[in-house]
Amino acid sequence: MRAPHLTPAPRRALALALAALLAPAAWALDLQQAYDAALANDASIRASRAGAQAQHERLPQARSQFYPNISLNAGRNFNNLTSKSTNLLGQPVESRQDYFSGNQALQLRQPLYRPAMLAQLRQAQAQVESADADLARDEQSLVVRVGEAYFEALLTRDQLALVLAQKQTYSTQVDAAKKTLAAGSGTRTDVDDAQARLDMTVAQELEARQNEDFTRRRLETLTGSDVDTLARLDEERFTPQPPQPEAVSDWVARAEAASPELQSLRAQAEAARQEIAKARSGHLPTLDAVAQWSRTSSDSVTSVNQRYDNKTIGLQLQVPLYSGGYVSSSVRQAQAALTRAEEMLEATRRDLGVRVHREFRGVTEGRLRIAALQQAVRSAEQAVQSSRKSQAAGVRTLLDVLNAEQQRTQAQRDLAQARYLYLVSQLRLHSLVGDDAQASVAQANAALLH
Protein backbone atom coordinates (compact mmCIF):
# COMPACT_ATOMS: atom_id res chain seq x y z
CA MET A 1 0.00 0.00 0.00
CA ARG A 2 1.33 3.41 -0.90
CA ALA A 3 2.36 5.51 2.04
CA PRO A 4 0.35 8.69 2.61
CA HIS A 5 1.82 11.93 1.37
CA LEU A 6 2.21 14.26 4.38
CA THR A 7 3.06 17.94 4.07
CA PRO A 8 4.07 19.24 7.51
CA ALA A 9 5.87 22.54 7.69
CA PRO A 10 8.64 22.08 10.28
CA ARG A 11 10.47 25.23 9.37
CA ARG A 12 7.33 27.32 9.70
CA ALA A 13 6.47 25.57 12.98
CA LEU A 14 9.94 26.24 14.36
CA ALA A 15 9.78 29.86 13.25
CA LEU A 16 6.44 30.32 14.97
CA ALA A 17 7.66 28.71 18.17
CA LEU A 18 10.79 30.82 18.21
CA ALA A 19 8.75 33.94 17.51
CA ALA A 20 6.45 33.16 20.42
CA LEU A 21 9.32 32.50 22.85
CA LEU A 22 12.17 34.68 21.69
CA ALA A 23 10.70 37.58 19.76
CA PRO A 24 12.36 40.80 20.94
CA ALA A 25 10.10 42.87 23.13
CA ALA A 26 10.33 46.57 23.83
CA TRP A 27 13.22 45.77 26.15
CA ALA A 28 15.30 42.58 26.21
CA LEU A 29 17.93 41.89 28.84
CA ASP A 30 21.34 41.31 27.29
CA LEU A 31 24.46 39.86 28.93
CA GLN A 32 26.01 43.25 29.70
CA GLN A 33 22.89 44.43 31.49
CA ALA A 34 22.62 41.14 33.37
CA TYR A 35 26.22 41.42 34.53
CA ASP A 36 25.84 45.06 35.61
CA ALA A 37 22.72 44.15 37.59
CA ALA A 38 24.47 41.19 39.23
CA LEU A 39 27.49 43.34 40.04
CA ALA A 40 25.19 45.69 41.96
CA ASN A 41 22.79 43.18 43.49
CA ASP A 42 24.52 39.81 43.92
CA ALA A 43 24.83 39.08 47.64
CA SER A 44 28.10 37.16 47.34
CA ILE A 45 29.78 40.10 45.58
CA ARG A 46 28.52 42.53 48.21
CA ALA A 47 29.89 40.20 50.88
CA SER A 48 33.23 40.03 49.07
CA ARG A 49 33.41 43.83 48.86
CA ALA A 50 32.68 44.12 52.58
CA GLY A 51 35.34 41.52 53.33
CA ALA A 52 37.91 43.43 51.27
CA GLN A 53 36.96 46.66 53.00
CA ALA A 54 37.41 45.01 56.39
CA GLN A 55 40.86 43.72 55.41
CA HIS A 56 41.87 47.21 54.24
CA GLU A 57 41.50 48.43 57.81
CA ARG A 58 44.42 46.22 58.84
CA LEU A 59 46.83 48.66 57.20
CA PRO A 60 45.93 51.81 59.21
CA GLN A 61 45.77 49.64 62.33
CA ALA A 62 49.34 48.43 61.73
CA ARG A 63 50.58 51.95 60.93
CA SER A 64 49.01 53.33 64.10
CA GLN A 65 51.49 51.30 66.17
CA PHE A 66 54.34 53.54 64.94
CA TYR A 67 52.72 56.74 66.24
CA PRO A 68 52.88 58.04 69.81
CA ASN A 69 50.45 56.56 72.28
CA ILE A 70 48.99 59.15 74.65
CA SER A 71 46.93 58.16 77.68
CA LEU A 72 45.36 60.00 80.57
CA ASN A 73 44.47 58.45 83.92
CA ALA A 74 42.60 60.34 86.61
CA GLY A 75 40.91 59.45 89.88
CA ARG A 76 39.28 61.18 92.87
CA ASN A 77 38.33 59.46 96.10
CA PHE A 78 36.59 60.36 99.35
CA ASN A 79 38.43 59.09 102.42
CA ASN A 80 37.13 58.59 105.98
CA LEU A 81 40.18 58.19 108.23
CA THR A 82 39.87 56.95 111.80
CA SER A 83 43.06 56.86 113.84
CA LYS A 84 43.58 55.46 117.36
CA SER A 85 46.51 56.24 119.58
CA THR A 86 47.40 56.91 123.24
CA ASN A 87 48.22 60.22 124.82
CA LEU A 88 51.03 60.99 127.23
CA LEU A 89 49.02 59.60 130.09
CA GLY A 90 48.53 56.32 128.29
CA GLN A 91 44.91 56.96 127.65
CA PRO A 92 43.39 55.88 124.32
CA VAL A 93 42.64 58.69 121.90
CA GLU A 94 40.53 58.33 118.75
CA SER A 95 40.29 60.91 115.95
CA ARG A 96 38.31 61.03 112.74
CA GLN A 97 39.13 62.91 109.56
CA ASP A 98 37.30 63.19 106.23
CA TYR A 99 39.25 64.31 103.14
CA PHE A 100 39.49 63.93 99.38
CA SER A 101 42.41 62.42 97.52
CA GLY A 102 43.13 62.39 93.83
CA ASN A 103 45.61 61.51 91.11
CA GLN A 104 46.12 62.47 87.48
CA ALA A 105 48.71 61.07 85.09
CA LEU A 106 49.36 61.98 81.46
CA GLN A 107 51.74 59.66 79.60
CA LEU A 108 53.22 59.74 76.10
CA ARG A 109 54.90 56.62 74.78
CA GLN A 110 56.76 56.62 71.44
CA PRO A 111 57.99 53.24 70.15
CA LEU A 112 61.59 53.47 68.96
CA TYR A 113 62.54 49.88 68.27
CA ARG A 114 59.93 47.16 67.97
CA PRO A 115 60.77 44.62 65.25
CA ALA A 116 57.37 42.96 65.49
CA MET A 117 55.63 46.16 64.42
CA LEU A 118 57.51 46.38 61.13
CA ALA A 119 56.70 42.74 60.36
CA GLN A 120 53.06 43.41 61.27
CA LEU A 121 52.94 46.34 58.84
CA ARG A 122 54.34 44.25 56.00
CA GLN A 123 51.93 41.47 56.88
CA ALA A 124 49.00 43.91 56.77
CA GLN A 125 50.09 45.07 53.31
CA ALA A 126 50.16 41.46 52.11
CA GLN A 127 46.73 40.80 53.61
CA VAL A 128 45.29 43.84 51.83
CA GLU A 129 46.77 42.62 48.54
CA SER A 130 45.25 39.19 49.16
CA ALA A 131 41.84 40.74 49.86
CA ASP A 132 41.98 42.83 46.68
CA ALA A 133 42.94 39.74 44.66
CA ASP A 134 40.10 37.77 46.24
CA LEU A 135 37.64 40.50 45.27
CA ALA A 136 38.99 40.50 41.70
CA ARG A 137 38.66 36.70 41.63
CA ASP A 138 35.06 36.89 42.83
CA GLU A 139 34.24 39.51 40.20
CA GLN A 140 35.76 37.27 37.53
CA SER A 141 33.76 34.39 38.95
CA LEU A 142 30.62 36.51 38.70
CA VAL A 143 31.26 36.97 34.97
CA VAL A 144 31.31 33.20 34.56
CA ARG A 145 28.28 32.63 36.79
CA VAL A 146 26.21 35.25 34.96
CA GLY A 147 27.39 33.97 31.58
CA GLU A 148 26.55 30.37 32.45
CA ALA A 149 23.13 31.35 33.78
CA TYR A 150 22.37 33.62 30.81
CA PHE A 151 23.39 31.21 28.06
CA GLU A 152 21.80 28.27 29.85
CA ALA A 153 18.56 30.25 29.95
CA LEU A 154 18.88 30.91 26.21
CA LEU A 155 19.60 27.22 25.60
CA THR A 156 16.53 26.06 27.51
CA ARG A 157 14.37 28.53 25.58
CA ASP A 158 15.79 27.26 22.30
CA GLN A 159 15.15 23.70 23.39
CA LEU A 160 11.58 24.55 24.33
CA ALA A 161 11.07 26.19 20.94
CA LEU A 162 12.39 23.07 19.20
CA VAL A 163 10.13 20.83 21.26
CA LEU A 164 7.09 22.98 20.46
CA ALA A 165 7.93 22.96 16.76
CA GLN A 166 8.37 19.19 16.86
CA LYS A 167 5.10 18.83 18.74
CA GLN A 168 3.26 20.81 16.08
CA THR A 169 4.86 18.74 13.34
CA TYR A 170 3.91 15.46 15.01
CA SER A 171 0.36 16.71 15.63
CA THR A 172 0.05 17.47 11.91
CA GLN A 173 1.37 14.02 11.05
CA VAL A 174 -1.03 12.30 13.43
CA ASP A 175 -3.98 14.11 11.88
CA ALA A 176 -2.79 13.32 8.36
CA ALA A 177 -2.18 9.65 9.23
CA LYS A 178 -5.65 9.32 10.72
CA LYS A 179 -7.24 10.92 7.65
CA THR A 180 -5.38 8.62 5.25
CA LEU A 181 -6.32 5.62 7.40
CA ALA A 182 -9.96 6.66 7.32
CA ALA A 183 -9.68 7.06 3.55
CA GLY A 184 -8.37 3.52 3.23
CA SER A 185 -4.94 4.44 1.93
CA GLY A 186 -2.99 4.49 5.21
CA THR A 187 -2.03 2.00 7.91
CA ARG A 188 -2.65 1.77 11.61
CA THR A 189 1.11 1.55 12.14
CA ASP A 190 1.57 5.04 10.71
CA VAL A 191 -0.97 6.41 13.18
CA ASP A 192 0.62 4.59 16.14
CA ASP A 193 4.15 5.71 15.22
CA ALA A 194 3.13 9.34 14.87
CA GLN A 195 1.05 9.22 18.08
CA ALA A 196 3.93 7.67 20.03
CA ARG A 197 6.26 10.43 18.89
CA LEU A 198 3.68 13.05 19.79
CA ASP A 199 3.16 11.61 23.29
CA MET A 200 6.92 11.59 23.90
CA THR A 201 7.14 15.20 22.73
CA VAL A 202 4.44 16.20 25.23
CA ALA A 203 6.57 14.75 28.04
CA GLN A 204 9.63 16.52 26.66
CA GLU A 205 7.70 19.78 26.60
CA LEU A 206 6.94 19.50 30.32
CA GLU A 207 10.62 18.92 31.07
CA ALA A 208 11.70 21.76 28.79
CA ARG A 209 9.29 24.19 30.45
CA GLN A 210 10.56 23.17 33.87
CA ASN A 211 14.18 23.71 32.80
CA GLU A 212 13.30 27.05 31.24
CA ASP A 213 11.63 28.22 34.45
CA PHE A 214 14.57 27.04 36.59
CA THR A 215 17.21 28.80 34.50
CA ARG A 216 15.16 31.99 34.40
CA ARG A 217 14.83 31.99 38.19
CA ARG A 218 18.55 31.34 38.55
CA LEU A 219 19.28 34.40 36.42
CA GLU A 220 16.77 36.45 38.40
CA THR A 221 18.54 35.48 41.63
CA LEU A 222 21.84 36.76 40.27
CA THR A 223 20.49 40.02 38.85
CA GLY A 224 18.02 40.74 41.64
CA SER A 225 15.24 41.59 39.19
CA ASP A 226 12.58 39.87 37.12
CA VAL A 227 13.71 38.47 33.79
CA ASP A 228 11.11 38.34 31.03
CA THR A 229 12.84 38.56 27.65
CA LEU A 230 16.46 37.81 26.86
CA ALA A 231 18.47 39.13 23.94
CA ARG A 232 19.06 36.03 21.84
CA LEU A 233 22.08 34.94 19.88
CA ASP A 234 22.55 36.52 16.47
CA GLU A 235 22.96 33.24 14.62
CA GLU A 236 23.40 34.86 11.21
CA ARG A 237 26.40 36.96 12.19
CA PHE A 238 27.80 34.76 14.95
CA THR A 239 31.22 33.59 13.81
CA PRO A 240 33.38 31.85 16.42
CA GLN A 241 36.92 33.17 16.48
CA PRO A 242 40.08 31.38 17.63
CA PRO A 243 41.60 32.56 20.91
CA GLN A 244 44.32 35.18 20.65
CA PRO A 245 47.12 34.27 21.14
CA GLU A 246 46.62 30.87 19.53
CA ALA A 247 49.25 29.01 21.63
CA VAL A 248 47.96 27.51 24.86
CA SER A 249 51.38 28.03 26.49
CA ASP A 250 50.90 31.79 26.13
CA TRP A 251 47.55 31.56 27.92
CA VAL A 252 49.09 29.51 30.73
CA ALA A 253 51.86 32.09 31.13
CA ARG A 254 49.28 34.89 31.27
CA ALA A 255 47.30 32.99 33.88
CA GLU A 256 50.36 32.41 36.07
CA ALA A 257 51.28 36.10 35.85
CA ALA A 258 47.87 37.73 36.27
CA SER A 259 45.44 35.21 37.76
CA PRO A 260 43.72 36.82 40.80
CA GLU A 261 43.64 33.40 42.43
CA LEU A 262 47.43 33.05 42.27
CA GLN A 263 47.93 36.68 43.30
CA SER A 264 45.89 36.06 46.42
CA LEU A 265 47.87 32.94 47.32
CA ARG A 266 51.19 34.71 46.74
CA ALA A 267 50.08 37.48 49.09
CA GLN A 268 49.02 34.88 51.67
CA ALA A 269 52.47 33.28 51.45
CA GLU A 270 54.08 36.68 52.03
CA ALA A 271 51.82 37.24 55.04
CA ALA A 272 52.99 33.87 56.39
CA ARG A 273 56.65 34.94 55.97
CA GLN A 274 55.99 38.09 57.97
CA GLU A 275 54.33 35.97 60.65
CA ILE A 276 57.66 34.17 61.05
CA ALA A 277 59.40 37.53 61.46
CA LYS A 278 56.83 38.54 64.08
CA ALA A 279 57.35 35.31 65.98
CA ARG A 280 61.16 35.61 65.93
CA SER A 281 60.95 39.17 67.26
CA GLY A 282 59.85 37.65 70.54
CA HIS A 283 63.55 37.06 71.25
CA LEU A 284 64.48 40.70 70.55
CA PRO A 285 64.44 43.69 72.91
CA THR A 286 62.12 46.67 72.51
CA LEU A 287 62.85 50.32 73.20
CA ASP A 288 60.34 53.12 73.87
CA ALA A 289 60.64 56.80 74.71
CA VAL A 290 58.35 57.70 77.61
CA ALA A 291 57.30 61.13 78.89
CA GLN A 292 54.93 61.47 81.85
CA TRP A 293 53.34 64.16 83.98
CA SER A 294 51.56 63.11 87.17
CA ARG A 295 49.88 64.90 90.05
CA THR A 296 48.78 63.37 93.34
CA SER A 297 46.98 64.94 96.28
CA SER A 298 46.50 63.37 99.68
CA ASP A 299 47.61 60.07 98.30
CA SER A 300 48.46 58.57 101.71
CA VAL A 301 47.63 59.08 105.38
CA THR A 302 50.99 60.81 105.84
CA SER A 303 50.39 63.31 103.07
CA VAL A 304 46.89 64.52 103.73
CA ASN A 305 46.30 67.97 102.24
CA GLN A 306 49.56 67.69 100.35
CA ARG A 307 50.03 67.73 96.56
CA TYR A 308 52.90 66.44 94.45
CA ASP A 309 53.62 67.21 90.78
CA ASN A 310 56.05 64.90 88.99
CA LYS A 311 57.42 65.22 85.42
CA THR A 312 59.58 62.48 83.89
CA ILE A 313 61.09 61.76 80.51
CA GLY A 314 63.33 58.89 79.49
CA LEU A 315 63.81 55.59 77.70
CA GLN A 316 62.32 52.23 78.56
CA LEU A 317 64.15 49.09 77.47
CA GLN A 318 62.55 45.68 77.71
CA VAL A 319 64.68 42.57 77.16
CA PRO A 320 62.97 39.17 77.01
CA LEU A 321 64.93 36.52 78.86
CA TYR A 322 62.83 33.40 79.08
CA SER A 323 59.23 32.60 78.10
CA GLY A 324 59.08 28.85 78.60
CA GLY A 325 59.71 28.05 74.91
CA TYR A 326 56.66 29.98 73.69
CA VAL A 327 58.60 32.05 71.14
CA SER A 328 60.39 29.03 69.65
CA SER A 329 57.10 27.17 69.34
CA SER A 330 55.50 30.19 67.65
CA VAL A 331 58.35 30.31 65.12
CA ARG A 332 57.92 26.62 64.27
CA GLN A 333 54.17 27.10 63.91
CA ALA A 334 54.66 30.06 61.57
CA GLN A 335 57.18 28.14 59.47
CA ALA A 336 54.72 25.28 59.05
CA ALA A 337 52.02 27.76 58.01
CA LEU A 338 54.40 29.20 55.39
CA THR A 339 55.11 25.73 54.01
CA ARG A 340 51.38 25.10 53.74
CA ALA A 341 50.81 28.42 51.93
CA GLU A 342 53.64 27.75 49.46
CA GLU A 343 52.39 24.22 48.71
CA MET A 344 48.84 25.51 48.19
CA LEU A 345 50.23 28.10 45.78
CA GLU A 346 52.10 25.44 43.80
CA ALA A 347 49.10 23.07 43.73
CA THR A 348 46.81 25.86 42.53
CA ARG A 349 49.34 26.93 39.89
CA ARG A 350 49.43 23.40 38.47
CA ASP A 351 45.64 23.05 38.60
CA LEU A 352 45.27 26.44 36.93
CA GLY A 353 47.31 25.19 33.99
CA VAL A 354 44.97 22.22 33.61
CA ARG A 355 41.89 24.45 33.72
CA VAL A 356 43.37 26.84 31.16
CA HIS A 357 44.08 23.89 28.85
CA ARG A 358 40.50 22.67 29.22
CA GLU A 359 38.86 26.01 28.48
CA PHE A 360 41.34 26.72 25.66
CA ARG A 361 40.31 23.47 24.03
CA GLY A 362 36.69 24.34 24.70
CA VAL A 363 37.16 27.46 22.58
CA THR A 364 39.35 26.01 19.83
CA GLU A 365 37.50 22.72 19.47
CA GLY A 366 34.19 24.47 20.04
CA ARG A 367 34.69 26.35 16.76
CA LEU A 368 35.24 23.06 14.92
CA ARG A 369 32.25 21.45 16.61
CA ILE A 370 30.00 24.37 15.67
CA ALA A 371 31.09 24.16 12.04
CA ALA A 372 30.54 20.39 12.02
CA LEU A 373 27.09 20.70 13.57
CA GLN A 374 26.09 23.43 11.14
CA GLN A 375 26.86 20.98 8.35
CA ALA A 376 25.02 18.26 10.27
CA VAL A 377 21.91 20.47 10.46
CA ARG A 378 22.05 21.14 6.73
CA SER A 379 22.44 17.43 6.04
CA ALA A 380 19.58 16.61 8.40
CA GLU A 381 17.36 19.15 6.63
CA GLN A 382 18.18 17.51 3.31
CA ALA A 383 17.53 14.08 4.78
CA VAL A 384 14.07 15.17 5.93
CA GLN A 385 13.20 16.52 2.49
CA SER A 386 14.50 13.39 0.79
CA SER A 387 12.55 11.14 3.17
CA ARG A 388 9.34 13.02 2.47
CA LYS A 389 9.83 12.76 -1.27
CA SER A 390 10.65 9.06 -0.96
CA GLN A 391 7.55 8.58 1.20
CA ALA A 392 5.43 10.26 -1.43
CA ALA A 393 6.94 7.94 -4.01
CA GLY A 394 6.21 4.92 -1.83
CA VAL A 395 9.87 4.08 -1.16
CA ARG A 396 10.02 5.27 2.46
CA THR A 397 7.53 4.93 5.29
CA LEU A 398 6.24 7.43 7.79
CA LEU A 399 8.63 5.96 10.37
CA ASP A 400 11.55 6.90 8.14
CA VAL A 401 10.28 10.47 7.97
CA LEU A 402 9.81 10.61 11.74
CA ASN A 403 13.34 9.34 12.33
CA ALA A 404 14.76 11.91 9.93
CA GLU A 405 12.89 14.72 11.65
CA GLN A 406 14.04 13.54 15.06
CA GLN A 407 17.64 13.46 13.83
CA ARG A 408 17.28 16.99 12.52
CA THR A 409 15.89 18.23 15.84
CA GLN A 410 18.76 16.58 17.72
CA ALA A 411 21.28 18.23 15.41
CA GLN A 412 19.64 21.62 15.99
CA ARG A 413 19.77 21.09 19.76
CA ASP A 414 23.43 20.07 19.65
CA LEU A 415 24.27 23.10 17.52
CA ALA A 416 22.58 25.49 19.94
CA GLN A 417 24.33 23.86 22.88
CA ALA A 418 27.73 24.03 21.13
CA ARG A 419 27.32 27.74 20.43
CA TYR A 420 26.50 28.59 24.03
CA LEU A 421 29.21 26.29 25.36
CA TYR A 422 31.75 28.07 23.14
CA LEU A 423 30.74 31.45 24.60
CA VAL A 424 30.89 30.15 28.17
CA SER A 425 34.32 28.57 27.57
CA GLN A 426 35.50 31.92 26.22
CA LEU A 427 34.32 33.68 29.39
CA ARG A 428 35.97 31.05 31.59
CA LEU A 429 39.27 31.31 29.72
CA HIS A 430 39.42 35.10 30.08
CA SER A 431 38.46 34.76 33.75
CA LEU A 432 41.28 32.29 34.46
CA VAL A 433 43.95 34.59 33.03
CA GLY A 434 42.62 37.64 34.89
CA ASP A 435 41.44 39.65 31.88
CA ASP A 436 39.27 42.69 32.43
CA ALA A 437 35.79 41.53 33.41
CA GLN A 438 33.95 44.26 31.52
CA ALA A 439 35.92 43.56 28.35
CA SER A 440 35.11 39.84 28.57
CA VAL A 441 31.42 40.57 28.99
CA ALA A 442 31.42 43.06 26.11
CA GLN A 443 33.06 40.50 23.81
CA ALA A 444 30.44 37.85 24.55
CA ASN A 445 27.62 40.41 24.49
CA ALA A 446 28.56 41.38 20.92
CA ALA A 447 27.23 37.99 19.75
CA LEU A 448 23.68 38.90 20.84
CA LEU A 449 20.95 40.71 18.98
CA HIS A 450 20.48 44.30 20.17
304 and 440 co-located in one domain: no
40/139 same-domain check: yes
Judge whether 424 lies within some domain. Answer: yes
pTM above threshold 0.85: no
User: Is 450 a domain residue?
Assistant: no
Instruction: Answer with the one of 319, 341, 373 that is the final residue of a domain.
Output: 319
Considering the domain architecture, whether residues 264 and 296 belong to the same structural domain is answered as no
CATH (domain of 168): 1.20.1600.10
Which of 266, 265, 241 lies closest to 430 in space, CA to CA?
Answer: 241
> Residue 17's pLDDT is what?
45
Residue 93 lies in a domain: yes
Separation between Cα atoms, residue 146 and residue 41, nearest integer Å: 12
> Does residue 37 sit within a domain?
yes
Q: Which domain holds residue 229?
A: 10-65+114-284+324-445
Assigned domain for 5 exists: no
Question: Whose CA is closest to 395, among 403, 404, 386?
Answer: 386
Task: Give residue 13's pLDDT.
Answer: 45
89 and 26 in a single domain? The answer is no
Boundary of a domain, candidates 296, 319, 342: 319
Taking the C-alpha atoms of residue 231 and residue 229, their distance in angstroms, rounded to an integer, is 7
Is residue 345 located within the same domain as residue 227?
Answer: yes
Note whether 170 and 315 are same-domain residues: no
86 part of a folded domain: yes
Domain boundary among 294, 319, 344: 319
- The pLDDT of residue 27: 62
Cis before residue 240, ω within 30 degrees of 0?
no
Residues 357 and 248 in one domain: yes
Indicate if 142 and 231 belong to the same structural domain: yes
Q: How many domains does the structure of the chain reveal?
A: 2
pLDDT at 387: 86
Domain membership flag for residue 3: no
Query: Which pLDDT score is estimated for 115?
Result: 94
| Pair (377, 337) in one structural domain | yes
Angle at 198 between CA 192 and CA 204, to 5 degrees: 140
| Domain shared by 238 and 310, yes or no | no
Asked whether residue 4 is assigned to any structural domain, the reply reads no
Distances (CA, A) of 341 to 101, 330, 346: 57, 16, 9
| 135/106 same-domain check | no
Burial of residue 200 (number of CB atoms within 10 Å: 0-12, 13-18, 19+): middle
Mean pLDDT by 10 residues, the chain (450 residues): 40 46 59 94 93 96 95 91 80 83 93 95 96 94 95 94 89 83 79 86 92 94 90 90 92 94 96 96 95 88 81 94 92 96 96 96 95 94 89 79 87 94 95 92 90
If we measure between CA atoms, which residue out of 309, 386, 355 comes closest to residue 103? 309
Same domain? For 305 and 328 the reply is no
pLDDT in tens, 87-135: 777 778 888 888 888 999 999 999 999 999 999 999 999 999 999 999 9
